[in-house]
Amino acid sequence: MAPPLRWLLGDMEQRRIARRYWLRDPTVGAAELAIHFALRMVAIDVCSWSGAAITYLTRRFYPDSDARARKAWSVLRPQESDPASVDAAMDRLWRNVGRTMHEYSILDRLWAAGRIEVSDVEHLDRARDQGKPILVTPVHLGNWEAILVAGIARGHCGSGIYEPPQNRFEHRIANAVRARYGARFVAAGPNSVRDAVRELKARRGPFIVYIDEFIRGRVQAPSFGRPLRPDANIAYAVRLAAMTGAVVIPAYCLRLDDSARFRVQFLPPLALAGTGDRKADIAENVRRLDAVIAPVIRAHLDQWYFALDFEFDR
């Protein structure tokens, strides 16, 4: 809800809220809309390259993020922890992040341009043909939105819960981008679990839950030696599967050769524990799902968006 204009002359907190809504957000939104439409006008490779190029400047504003990623690389890839290898990995990581941010404007063009390969989509086909609810659990590797693009293009029009951006103009851009390639998303709210269960039971297509989210100041998964929280998306996903009988299919996307080309990989359905002890089964299934995604992310750490936020002691 929009704050009243009179709050611009109110107390300190009212002024802060009103200035953000009426002044900062429109200014930032106008700039982002201009960039978005400019990127849509250029060739795919130019759009993607511009995102990689700009990171040589923008990464300098995020020294803490760079330091976190360097530590994660050194700990998780100790065989490549010499300074030259770490520097090269950080260059690849930042370039991937920059490319992904700019590619958001042309996501709807990637499939038609032949930029996305798909491996083992048969796992989705088989679950659909068996009439089962499908829960896809991707991670933020490569350009992670390409997973939805590829799934929809192959006949699996899914949905999911998303956290709307605070800036209403950014929100409009996100909705417009996803509408162009046919994605359906429900904004997070007090009824999110009910909405998710309804979508899964309706079997209208895969339901998407990204399980390596950054929330409450912490990258929630993979564990990489840390305890996994019961309120993380990885636990939310296995609880949804238990409530609906859904097949859980992990997935990820890899960028190929530092370019705007991708391979989307759908993994075999997760073997779920079903002993009848609900609490123990959920804990075991969280462990199993973590065991699937952890080696994938470790192997492609230079394409993992949340390497910039990951901390071993949180």
Q: Is the peptide bond before 269 cis (omega within 30 degrees of 0)?
A: no
pLDDT for position 182? 83
Spatial separation of the C-alpha atoms in residues 173 and 108, rounded to whole Å: 13
Cα 266 to chain centroid distance, Å, stands at 15
pLDDT for position 256? 98
Question: CA 56, 175, 229, 251: dihedral to nearest 10 degrees?
Answer: -80
Spatial separation of the C-alpha atoms in residues 19 and 15, rounded to whole Å: 6
pLDDT tens per residue across all 314 residues of the chain? 889 889 888 899 999 999 999 999 999 999 999 999 999 999 999 999 999 999 999 999 999 999 999 999 999 999 999 999 999 999 999 999 999 999 999 999 999 999 999 999 999 999 999 999 999 999 999 999 999 999 999 999 888 887 788 889 888 888 888 888 888 787 777 788 888 899 899 998 999 999 999 988 899 999 999 999 988 999 999 999 999 999 999 999 999 999 999 999 999 999 999 898 999 999 999 999 999 999 999 999 999 999 999 999 98
Phi, psi (rounded to 5 degrees) for 248: -100, 120
pLDDT for position 162? 79
pLDDT for position 129? 95
- Rounded to 5°, the CA angle 244-158-147 comes to 115
Residue for token digits 């103009």?
169
Contacting residues for 21 by C-beta, under 8 A, at least 6 apart: 2, 3
**Quick check: 264 and 251 in contact, CB under 8 A?**
yes
**Quick check: 69 and 20 in contact, CB under 8 A?**
no
Spatial separation of the C-alpha atoms in residues 220 and 207, rounded to whole Å: 20
Predicted TM-score (pTM) of this structure = 0.93
A 10 A CB-CB count for 64 gives 9
3-state secondary structure 93-140: HHHHHHHHHHHHHHHHHHCCCCCEEEECCHHHHHHHHCCCCEEEEECC
